[in-house]
C-alpha cells in the first residue's frame, strides 16, 4: 500500500483496450499506450465511461503485482476524446455509440477526418452522405454521441470540483444527464441523495462553485445538517434555541440569517415544529410522523379484543411448568397471567431474572391453543439467540418486514400486515423510533404484542428511547423481573452486572481457588493498558479458557477515540492477531487497512447486500485487480467494491454502543479515566452483560467507580412519552 510519504505520479496516453469496466461502480482495467513507455501499460482506476481510442490522464502510483506484473493504480482518472485519426476510428468503432461499429467508424473518419465529432454534433444531416447511413442510423448515432458527451462533461465537472471518480460515478448514476444542473443549482442536495457524501463534502463543492458561506441555500441546508447531528446523538427533535445555537457553531453563520432560514424550512415543510413540555422544538418530519404512528398503533392494538379465547392462568401455569420442567417464580406467574389477558405488554429486567423462561412459557401456552407466533429482534445475532432459546424461527425486524431494496421500503405494512396472532420483539432497548413505527404499522389489529428488553441498558443508537418511553407512559402493563435465579446467581458476570446497575462497585477480587467468569486486570495508564489488553486477548484467554482470540473474544470500548479507544486498539490487535497476512495483498480505504483474515463489522444497513449494522464477518478474499473484497457473514460470502468499504470497519475492538443486541463468549472492556466523558452506569452495565461466559475489565478502579456513579440523565428530546400518555 502507498505510504503517506510516497509521491504520486502522472501518466497520460491512448486507450488501446478496455479489459474490464463496471458501469455500476466505474471500476476499470485498461491497457494504455502511454507517453514515455515502450510497452502497453495496465491502468486500474474508476471512470463512468471509457472506450478504446480515448485519451486518459491518470494520477496514482506504480505497483508491481505478484501475478500481473507492473501496473499503474490511478486514484484520479480523466478521460478525454481522441484527437488522432487512428484514435478517433478506434473510439467510434468500439461500440460505445449505437449505430457505429468498426466498418462505419472507418467510413466516417474517411469522409470527415478530424472534424467527424463536429459533424455528428453540429451537422448531423451530413452523416447521410456516408454510404449505408440512413435517417434511422443517423438518429441513433446522434443520440449515442449526446449521451457519451453528457457523461464526459458531468465527470469533468465533478472532478474539477473535488469529487473523487468513484463518488462522481455514484452521482451520475443518481442524477443521470441532469447531474451538472442539479449539483450547480444546489450542491447540498448531494448530502441528502448520495450515500457517502455528507454536508461537509457538499459544503466544499459549494465553496468551489462560488456559493457564499452566508448564502440562504447554505443556511437552510445547514439547519438540516445540525438537526441530523442531533439525531445521531439520539434525539428526535431539538428545542428551537438549541438548534439555532448548534447551527451557529457548526456553520459560523449569523443567528438572524439562521432564524430566517428556519422560517423558510418550516414554511416548506422541510422541518416540523411541535412543543415538548414548555419548549418549542424542531423535528425532522419523518421522526415526528413516526412518533405519532407508534402512539396511535399501540392505542389501537390495546383497544381490540384478544386473538385467543379466554385462558385460565390457574390451569395454564401448572401445565406449562410440567411441560418445560421448571418451577416459575411468583413474579413470572403474575406476568404470565397478565400476558394471557393483555393485547400489549412489556417484559423487562436484567440478566438472570428469567425473561427467557417467561417468554418460553407464554409461547408454549399459546401454541397449545393454536395461536400463530412471529418472533423478531433488531440484529441477526439477537434473532439467532432468540431462535436458540425458544426453538422457534426468529427473524431480524428487517427480514420480518421484508425490506425491498428496489423500492427502499418494507413490503409489510397496513396494506400487507404480518400473519400472526402474537408478535414477540426481543432486545427492544435497541429499537429506535423509525423502526418501531415501521414494525407497528405491520402488526395486524387482531394480534397481541409482547415487548421484551432490558430498560437499564443503553438506549438505541438511533433516535428516541422507545422502550423507556413505553414503560414510563403507563399505557400498557409492564412485568419488571428483579429476582436473580439461583443458577444465575452463581455467575459473577450476572451478580456484578446487577451491582453496577444498583450503583455499587463490582466485586473485582477473584476467588482464591478455581476459575471464575469475571476478572479485573489493573492498568495505571493507557500505555500500560494496551500491552495488557493484547496479552490477555492473544495469550492468556486462549491458553486458560480455550477461546479463539479472534472469533470468541470481543474487545468493547467506551468510545472510539484515545489510546484505549476502539480505533487505536483495532490497529494494535490487527498486528497481534493477524500478523501472517502482512506480506499479503491489502487495501487501504477510509482510515483502515484490510487483509484476508481480518475481523470486520458492518456499520450501516445495506439492504441490497442484506447485511445490517452490527453484523460481524471475516475477510476471506481480496482481489486488487477487480477492486473487490469478500467478507463472510455467518457462512454467506458478500462482495464489496473497494469504494464501498466505508460501510465496514475493523472489529477486533468496537464500542459498547455498537455491541448492543449482541452476546460474545468473552468480552474484554478497557475502563480508563481518559474515557471520562462516556463513563456512565448504563454503559458499563451494557458492556458487562454482553459477555456470556467470561468478562475481563482492564484499567483503573477509579474509572470503574466513575462509571458506577455516573448515572447521568442524558435527556433525549422526544415527544413519544407525551403522545402515549395523552388521553
Task: Indicate whether 83 pLDDT > 60.
Answer: yes
Average pLDDT, the chain: 87
Model confidence over 208-257: pLDDT tens digits?
888 898 999 999 999 988 998 899 889 999 999 999 999 999 888 999 99
pLDDT at 553: 96
| pLDDT greater than 50 at residue 693 | yes
**SS3 at position 605:** coil
Q: Please list, in sequence order, all residues whose beta carbon lies within 8 angstroms of the beta carbon of residue 443, skipping any fewer than 6 positions away.
A: 297, 301, 417, 418, 423, 449
Return the pLDDT at 4: 39
The DSSP call for residue 536 is I
Q: Is 655 helix (H, G, I), strand (E, B) or coil?
A: strand
Which of 56-60, 200-204, 264-268, 660-664 tops mean pLDDT? 264-268
Q: CA–CA distance from 556 to each of 350, 360, 515, 533 (Å)?
A: 19, 30, 22, 11
State pLDDT tens for residues 438-490.
Answer: 999 999 999 999 999 999 988 888 899 999 999 999 999 999 988 887 677 78
User: CA-to-CA distance for 142 and 121, rounded, in angstroms?
Assistant: 7
Distance CA(657)–CA(686), nearest Å, equals 8
Binding residue numbers for ATP: 352-356
By residue count, the chain amounts to 727
Cα–Cα distance, 337 to 342 (Å, whole number): 9
Please say whether the dihedral angle defined by the alpha carbons of residues 184, 189, 194 and 200, taken in this order, is positive or negative: positive
Q: What is the pLDDT of residue 407?
A: 66
180 touches 153 (CB < 8 A)? yes
What is the C-alpha to C-alpha distance for residues 420 and 439, in angstroms, rounded to an integer? 13
Q: In this structure, are strands 27-34 and 41-46 parallel, antiparallel, or unpaired? A: antiparallel
pLDDT at 24: 64
Asked if the model's pLDDT at residue 99 lies above 80, the reply is no
Known binding positions: 352-356
Q: Is the pLDDT of residue 3 over 50?
A: no
Q: Which helix (H) or strand (E) holds 227?
A: helix 216-232
Provide the b/e sequence for 305-315 (b: ≥16 CB within 10 Å).
ebbeeebebee
Q: What angle do CA 245, 247, 253 make, to 5 degrees?
A: 100
What average pLDDT does this structure show over 253-282? 94
For the residues 328-335, what does the mean pLDDT come to?
90
Q: 573: number of CA atoms within 13 Å, CB side?
A: 34
pLDDT, tens digit (0-9, with 9 covering 90-100), for 581-633: 666 778 887 778 899 999 999 988 777 788 887 889 999 998 876 678 999 99
DSSP category for residue 497: H
Supply the pLDDT for residue 696: 96
Amino acid at each position: 500500500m502507498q505510504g503517506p510519504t510516497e509521491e504520486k505520479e502522472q501518466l497520460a496516453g491512448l486507450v488501446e483496450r478496455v479489459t474490464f469496466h463496471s458501469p455500476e461502480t466505474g471500476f476499470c482495467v485498461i491497457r494504455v499506450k502511454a507517453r514515455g513507455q515502450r510497452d502497453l501499460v495496465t491502468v486500474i482506476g474508476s471512470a463512468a465511461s471509457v472506450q478504446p481510442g480515448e485519451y486518459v490522464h491518470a494520477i496514482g502510483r506504480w505497483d508491481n503485482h505478484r501475478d500481473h506484473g507492473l501496473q499503474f493504480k490511478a486514484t484520479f482518472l480523466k478521460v478525454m476524446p481522441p484527437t488522432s485519426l487512428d484514435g478517433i476510428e478506434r473510439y467510434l468503432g468500439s461500440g460505445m455509440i449505437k449505430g457505429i461499429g468498426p466498418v462505419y467508424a472507418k467510413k466516417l473518419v474517411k469522409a470527415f477526418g478530424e472534424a467527424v465529432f463536429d459533424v455528428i454534433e453540429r451537422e448531423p444531416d451530413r452523416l447521410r452522405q456516408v454510404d449505408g447511413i440512413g435517417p434511422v442510423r443517423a438518429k441513433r448515432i446522434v443520440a449515442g454521441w449526446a449521451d457519451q458527451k453528457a457523461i464526459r462533461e458531468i465527470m469533468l465537472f465533478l472532478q474539477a470540483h473535488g469529487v473523487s471518480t468513484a463518488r462522481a460515478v455514484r452521482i451520475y448514476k443518481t442524477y443521470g444527464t441532469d447531474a451538472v444542473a442539479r449539483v450547480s443549482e444546489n450542491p447540498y442536495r448531494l448530502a441528502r441523495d448520495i450515500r457517502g457524501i455528507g454536508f461537509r463534502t457538499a459544503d466544499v463543492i459549494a465553496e468551489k462553485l462560488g456559493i457564499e458561506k452566508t448564502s440562504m441555500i447554505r443556511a437552510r441546508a445547514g439547519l438540516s445538517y445540525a438537526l441530523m447531528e442531533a439525531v445521531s446523538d439520539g434525539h428526535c427533535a431539538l428545542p428551537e434555541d438549541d438548534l439555532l445555537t448548534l447551527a451557529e457553531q457548526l456553520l459560523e453563520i449569523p443567528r438572524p440569517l439562521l432564524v430566517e432560514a428556519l422560517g423558510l424550512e418550516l414554511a416548506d415543510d422541510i422541518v416540523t415544529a411541535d412543543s415538548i413540555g414548555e419548549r418549542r422544538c424542531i423535528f425532522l418530519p419523518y421522526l415526528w410522523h413516526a412518533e405519532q404512528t407508534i402512539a396511535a398503533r399501540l392505542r389501537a392494538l390495546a383497544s381490540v379484543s384478544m386473538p385467543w379465547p379466554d385462558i385460565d392462568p390457574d390451569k395454564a401455569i401448572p401445565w406449562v411448568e410440567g411441560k418445560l420442567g421448571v418451577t416459575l417464580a411468583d413474579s413470572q406467574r403474575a406476568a404470565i397471567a397478565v400476558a394471557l389477558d393483555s393485547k400489549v405488554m412489556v417484559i423487562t429486567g436484567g440478566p438472570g431474572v428469567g425473561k427467557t423462561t417467561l417468554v418460553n412459557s407464554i409461547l408454549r401456552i399459546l401454541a397449545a391453543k393454536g395461536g400463530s407466533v412471529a418472533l423478531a429482534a433488531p440484529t441477526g445475532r439477537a434473532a439467532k439467540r432468540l431462535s436458540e432459546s425458544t426453538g422457534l424461527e426468529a427473524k431480524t425486524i428487517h427480514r420480518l418486514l421484508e425490506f425491498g431494496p428496489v423500492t427502499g421500503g418494507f413490503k409489510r405494512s397496513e396494506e400487507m400486515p404480518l400473519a400472526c396472532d402474537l408478535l414477540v420483539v426481543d432486545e427492544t432497548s435497541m429499537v429506535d423510533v423509525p423502526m418501531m413505527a415501521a414494525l407497528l404499522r405491520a402488526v395486524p389489529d387482531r394480534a397481541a404484542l409482547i415487548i421484551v428488553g432490558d430498560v437499564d441498558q443503553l438506549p438505541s443508537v438511533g433516535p428516541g428511547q422507545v422502550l423507556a418511553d413505553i414503560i414510563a407512559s403507563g399505557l400498557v402493563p409492564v412485568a419488571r423481573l428483579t429476582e436473580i435465579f439461583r443458577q444465575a446467581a452463581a455467575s459473577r458476570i450476572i451478580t456484578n452486572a446487577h451491582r453496577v446497575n444498583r450503583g455499587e462497585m463490582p466485586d473485582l477480587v477473584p476467588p482464591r481457588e478455581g476459575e471464575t467468569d469475571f476478572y479485573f486486570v489493573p492498568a495505571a495508564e493507557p500505555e500500560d493498558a494496551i500491552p495488557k489488553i493484547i496479552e490477555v486477548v492473544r495469550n492468556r484467554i486462549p491458553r486458560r479458557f480455550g477461546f479463539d482470540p479472534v472469533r470468541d473474544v470481543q474487545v468493547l470500548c467506551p468510545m472510539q477515540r484515545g489510546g484505549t479507544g476502539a480505533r487505536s486498539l483495532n490497529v494494535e490487535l490487527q498486528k497481534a492477531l493477524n500478523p501472517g497476512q502482512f506480506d499479503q495483498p491489502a487495501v487501504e480505504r477510509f482510515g483502515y487497512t484490510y487483509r484476508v483474515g481480518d475481523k470486520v463489522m458492518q456499520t450501516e444497513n445495506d439492504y441490497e447486500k442484506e447485511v445490517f449494522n452490527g453484523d460481524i464477518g471475516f475477510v476471506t478474499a481480496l482481489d486488487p485487480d477487480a477492486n473487490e473484497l469478500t467478507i463472510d457473514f455467518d457462512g454467506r460470502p458478500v462482495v464489496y467494491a473497494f469504494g464501498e468499504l466505508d460501510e465496514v470497519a475493523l472489529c477486533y475492538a468496537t464500542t459498547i454502543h455498537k455491541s448492543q443486541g449482541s452476546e460474545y463468549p468473552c468480552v474484554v472492556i478497557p475502563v480508563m479515566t481518559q474515557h471520562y466523558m462516556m463513563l456512565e452506569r448504563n454503559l458499563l452495565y451494557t458492556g458487562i452483560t454482553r459477555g456470556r461466559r467470561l468478562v475481563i475489565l482492564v484499567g483503573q478502579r477509579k474509572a470503574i467507580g466513575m462509571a458506577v456513579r455516573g448515572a447521568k440523565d442524558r435527556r433525549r428530546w422526544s415527544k413519544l412519552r407525551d403522545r402515549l400518555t395523552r388521553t
